[in-house]
Amino acid sequence: MCKTYDCMGIALAVVTVLLLAFGNFCCNYFCIFYWYFESNPDNQLLYGLPLTKLGTLAFLFFNYLCLLSLIAHWRAAWCDPGSVPKTKEAPGGMEPDRVKFCNKCELNWKPERAHHCKECGKCVYKMDHHCPWVNNCVGVKNLKFFLQFVMYTAIAAAFLVLMMLVSFFQLMTSKSKSHTQKDGYVWAFILCILAFIEGILFAFFCFELLQEQFEAIEVNQTYIDDMKELFGRPLSLTDNLTMCLGHDWKWWLIPTTPCLSVNYLEKMYTLKQIKKLKDFEEEDYDADRKLFAAEFVKSRREKRIVKILFVGFTALWFFLIRYYSQEYFEGKFTLLGLWEQMTTFSKPPIA
Ligand SMILES: [Zn+2]
Ligand SMILES: [Zn+2]
């Protein structure tokens, strides 16, 4: 979060987390655990989780999404959005009319693609906007987390709406009216309606935002560039995505710190200039790269932790499914089954 602790921003960030928690509770408690409850262990997919197989899958899918969304929100809020290195001298060889200094940051050099954020009180490289929902600027270093937060929230919200629709449908079509006599039925119904509205609003807002963000990334723009009708150099979609999400596409969907090469000497162009640059070449603008670029490759340890967690969790999950719901895999080939056959030696019959 930014240094100037803005009360409104903190309140909105907390509200975002509370809204996520509310949606998560309603979907789990009133939909998944209500309609897919299964007490017989033989019919469960995961031992100890009293749900039908479909219910277990819905539970894992929805809760994975919420967890990823929360982690991405946390990281977007606490990550440095991309503060510009402080220097009074602009790099040599720059065209004089392109050299700018920020009069709000003690007249430090301001790269062309940096913007000063009033709320944060600093210049942020490739600033997109100051987001009150995460109480932080969205810039070059936390755009990945922000996009992940929006994407996972959008999918989770859409799933919540789907589950609520299933619930309403079940309520209307079920012949037994016993649930209407239960304590707190009216409250449950009101909470579900609220969660349903929340889901629709979140899904609509987040998918819309995601589409806008994608369109901006496609043409190497940020929201602020769009306001000023300026563009970054024209690159392929893959290159543009790499510049936002990191070099390794395998980690684009996981909230780890992206490996970015940031070039503070990047230029901005008007649409006219871009059209003139038919045979666009990168020019020799990156000559001073060593001095005015930064590489953020701090995520190796993080990746190792994620890998261990992923392998560990998957192995545990597989183990549980295999051993506690044996009939699930009956007649099917599994690697674990093969391993068992190879390692189980039949005991000699007792005479
Ligand atoms: Zn500034
Ligand atoms: Zn800001």
pLDDT tens digits for 291-322?
A: 444 555 556 777 787 778 777 776 776 665 55
Choose between 152 and 263: higher pLDDT.
152
The answer to whether the CB of 98 falls within 8 A of the CB of 41 is no
Query: Domain total for the chain?
Result: 1
pTM exceeds 0.75 for this model: yes
The answer to whether the CB of 163 falls within 8 A of the CB of 196 is no
| Local structure of 166: helix, strand or coil | helix
105 confidence band (pLDDT: 50, 70, 90): confident
Q: Which residues pair with 123 in a beta bridge?
A: 116
Strand ranges in 28-135 using DSSP code E only, listed in sequence order: 101-102, 108-109, 114-117, 122-125, 129-131
Q: Tell me, yes or no, whether 338 lies in a domain.
A: no
Over the chain, what is the mean pLDDT?
A: 80
Say which ligand is closest to the CA of 107. Answer: 1
Q: Tell me, yes or no, whether 95 lies in a domain.
A: yes
Q: Tell me, yes or no, whether 320 lies in a domain.
A: no
Cα(124) to centroid(ligand 2), Å: 8
Say which ligand is closest to the CA of 104. Answer: 1
Q: Tell me, yes or no, whether 295 lies in a domain.
A: yes
Q: Tell me, yes or no, whether 324 lies in a domain.
A: no
Residue-number span of the structural domain to which 227 is assigned:
7-313
Q: Tell me, yes or no, whether 16 lies in a domain.
A: yes
Cα(306) to centroid(ligand 2), Å: 29
DSSP secondary structure of 256-301: S---EEEETT---B-HHHHHH-TT---TTTTTTHHHHEEEE---HH
CA 11 to chain centroid: 21
Q: Tell me, yes or no, whether 62 lies in a domain.
A: yes
Residue 280 pLDDT: 55
The answer to whether the CB of 262 falls within 8 A of the CB of 286 is no
Cα(72) to centroid(ligand 1), Å: 26
199 confidence band (pLDDT: 50, 70, 90): very high
Strand ranges in 91-180 using DSSP code E only, listed in sequence order: 101-102, 108-109, 114-117, 122-125, 129-131, 136-138
Q: Tell me, yes or no, whether 31 lies in a domain.
A: yes
258 confidence band (pLDDT: 50, 70, 90): confident
